[in-house]
Structure 1
Amino acid sequence: MIKLVLFLAVLCFSSTAFAGPDERVAEIRQWYDAVQKLKPSAERKIAFEAKDDPLSGDLAVKDFDGGWKSIVVSYSAGDHGEIDEHYYFKDGKLFFAYVVATHWRFHPDSTDENPKTIDTRSEDRYYYDGETCVRRLTCNATSDDAEKLPAMVAKLEQKKVEPGDEAKTQRERAVKLFGAKTAAEVLAAYE
């Protein structure tokens, strides 16, 4: 009887090990929704700026009861773009990354007297099971009106793409940021 109880307990705790990508993504979405409803038990921010690189921004860490943590890094990488990286952890393990990148370039019809830009917004969602990215979803839109871009992207279908090296890079960066306590440690995550 004890062996049966132990077997059932192990089976329940390891259910994600047997789950396919669809089930894992559904579970991660539930976890994400749960974190969004929580109030942080602790918060801290770190401002950072590279000396020889156009990289500067802020890291915000929120700890929640129950082993949840979120990290948001907002930074500019030069004059033409901004990136927001959102990382979510449960019991110290990354389960979700959401990256929003916006950049602009001059419109071909732009002049000094009448400057115009073309803006692009891309969103990538990475779903992790341990060290493996089980799904990556992406979407992007381009417009000559930057204020419309978030609504435009929200209406788009997210496309499944191969996680590729980007998923590995996001995971490795998240792990470094998880333990960052100083601006130098934040910058080291981007080297």
Structure 2
Amino acid sequence: MSGAEGRPARFGTSPAGGRRLSDGERAWARTRELPDLVADGLVLLLCGINPGLGSAAAGHHFANAGNRLWPALHRSGFTPRQLSGSEDHELLSFGIGITSLVARPTARAGELTPAEIRAGGQELRARVRRLSPAWLAMLGISAYRTAFDAPDATVGPQDITIGPTRVWVLPNPSGLNAHYPPRALATEFTRLREAMGLPRRHTG
């Protein structure tokens, strides 16, 4: 017996609360499509690599408790308080949207093939041209290098534009990214906010 929209009946607490998904929930999450969080007139479009299974199951971007996107956005001044994955829709009030390079949910981004990532890059370009955000920020340098055929790219501003949209690469905020602890991650997000000319939205 399944719940609404084919969800396994035993699905309960949101993965954002730290509960591990059962095997059935993981299999179900792999079939889910997590819609983009977008609107017209975005100042910033954040692009993750692909949805994790916890996020796909919860129906919210970056919903896993270990993901550091939300603390980084707050510490860097993009948001006045720290949001959670279940509050992802509130980003739109700040002119910030979220999309994914590849739509297919996986347990880890390493499950994606280079061909999927390159195809995702082409689809992302088309999406950005349609939405025309002021800035695109890719969350993950390795995926950016593959998707945009830019093997020498580094974290920070990129030389390319997509239509009028300027491009920046941020570190992957996954808790698995040991190269960027929380303070260093927030520093990189702050660099982007300052380059965009946005005011700091909190003073804490």
TM bracket (short chain): under 0.3
Does 1 or 2 have the higher relative contact order (CA < 8 Å, sep 6+)? 2
Greater fraction strand: 1
> Greater Rg, structure 1 or structure 2?
1
Superposition TM-score, scaled by structure 2 size = 0.23
Q: TM-score, normalised by structure 1?
A: 0.24
